[in-house]
Structure 1
Amino acid sequence: MSETQTTPPTPERIAELEQQLLELQQKCDFLEKVIHEVPANIYISDLEKGLTWCNKTNEESLGYTLEEIREMGGLEYMYKIVHPEDHNIPDDSITHYQNFEGAEYGGVFRAKHKDEKEYKWFIGWAKAFSKKGPDEVKELLCVDVDMSPRMNTDTQLVQALRDNLKQKNKLLIKCLRKREIEVLDLVCKGFNSKEIADKLFISPNTVSTHRKHIQQKLGTANVADLVSLGKEAGLG
């Protein structure tokens, strides 16, 4: 059996390969520089483990190095930096992609640097990055932008937060039944229970029961909060 002989590359071919390798290295260096210097927090989040990789901007804006995050645990890190009232954002993101239907997920939330007391407003997006199977997402590619220094005026920031609250309350209203939405709409218009009962041809006791259920579902403590939430969602 004769051994297969290979022709050694020519000096020209070696020089060509070295040039290609140099160009590839330059391209990788450029892309790495862009990723780490872009003014946004870019990170990979595993649905089970939480954050597993992040860019330098993320480390600088929130104060935790990637090594610290991995040591702490990606999920614990998320709950540590995100405002307690906004923990639903990472939770809802995980739930969304556990029941993946193809749509991207986004939200507005507050987070803070580990050495600071004040929270900043971020707007974030996520999309499926890797999958275990055709319809089973494993990792997310996430991008969060600190909104406060990106706005030219305070008015823009206020309007952005107002629009987000309106959308959030619209989604919350969807948990109500059709009759409950009718009752809430009339409450927002200023009608009392007797007037609502007359308009909907039901008893005042039934209206009171609906109002009680509505407040339980929406988590409001009083009528003023209930009306505020309903109007933010477009009722009344």
Structure 2
Amino acid sequence: MPDDNQTPPTPQSMHEMEKELELLRQKCAFLERVIHGVPANIYVSDLEKGVVWCNKTNEESLGYPLEEIRKMEGMAYMQAILHPDDQQVPGESVDHYQNFSGAEFGGVFRAKHKDEQEYKWYIGWAKAFARNDEGTVKELLCVDVAMSPHMNTEEQLVQALKDNLRLKNKLLIKSLRKREIEILSLICKGYSTKSIAKKLFISENTVSTHRRNIQQKLGTANVAELVNLASEAGLG
């Protein structure tokens, strides 16, 4: 029921409201133009439903309209665009936000347009965008940038990736115990299992066990990979 004592708006107040409304329209139009025109794929991903919103750049670069993406739900859209060897990337991101409290989470992956066969490299970042009533992350805001072959800073890009890999390897090395680092250093210097055992006054079986544990922690398949990772991290 309307309040009889309420003062009706004056022509001046109506004019001011219309001006504010027009300013809001202009602001929204500008922001929409920026979001859809930025040279990066921007999208919001629900951890259960999949991508629920994306900008025009995302639609154009990968060939899937938002309406079609929403119908695919879950990981179906990601599975359609990602390279077979990079299918684990979205799952790793989801796992990160379901099990850890870290902020941003990034990665490098390959994706292709719906009507093309060739994959392009992308570097992407995500951060928590919305949470449920329990405070658990519900949606992610993601930004993916294509690493175009036409980039004029290829040398800087290569160096940046090397630096990033070096930092990642250093963090892996830090996860090792003191004895494991000691053994890894000797492996990098060319010492055999027998020589390491003799130098450290331990059994060869103990050295072999340490070597297996080191490779498991660092995710390497053989000695060559092990030495290469340690070398990139500045060890040896």
Residue 132 of structure 2: SS of its match in structure 1? Answer: strand
- TM-score for the superposition, normalised by structure 2: 0.85
What residue number does 2:162 align with?
Answer: 162
Residues 19-58 of structure 1, C-alpha deviations (whole Å, 9 max, x = no match): 2111111111110000000111111111222221111111
Q: Which residue of 1 aligns with 2:34?
A: 34
Q: Match for residue 71 of structure 2?
A: 71
Distance in 1 separating the partners of 2:3 and 2:50 = 53
Does the alignment pair 1:188 with 2:188? yes
Aligned CA distance change for structure 1 residues 157 and 51 (closer, same or farther; 3 Å): same
Match of 1:230 in 2: 230
After TM superposition, the structure 1 = structure 2 runs for residues 100-119 of structure 1, keeping only pairs within 5 Å, are 100-119=100-119
Q: Does the CA contact (< 8 Å) of 1:131 and 1:139 recur in 2? A: yes
Aligned to 1:144: 144
Moved more, 107-116 or 38-47: 107-116
Asked if structure 2 preserves the Cα contact closer than 8 Å seen for 1:52 and 1:74, the reply is no
In 1, Cα distance between equivalents of 2:61 and 2:83: 15
Q: Deviations over 1:155-192 (max 9, x none)?
A: 22322332333344445446655433332232122221
Identical positions, percent: 70
Alignment RMSD: 2.6
1:67-96 deviations in whole A, cap 9, x for unaligned? 121111242222332333334432222122
* 2:81/2:112 contact within 8 Å kept: yes
Residue ranges of structure 1 left out of the alignment (5+ in a row): none
Aligned partner of 1:188: which letter?
C
1: CA distance between counterparts of 2:168 and 2:97?
19
Output aligned runs, 1:38-57, within 5 Å: 38-57=38-57
Q: In 2, are the aligned partners of 1:122 and 1:145 still within 8 Å (CA)?
A: yes
Match of 1:204 in 2: 204
Q: Does 61-70 or 104-113 show the bigger shift?
A: 104-113
Aligned-partner Cα distance in 1 for 2:176–2:117: 37
Partners of 2:208 and 2:3 lie apart in 1 by 93
In the superposition, the TM-score normalised over structure 1's length comes to 0.85
* Equivalent position amino acid for 1:112 in 2: K
3-state SS of 1:187 partner:
helix
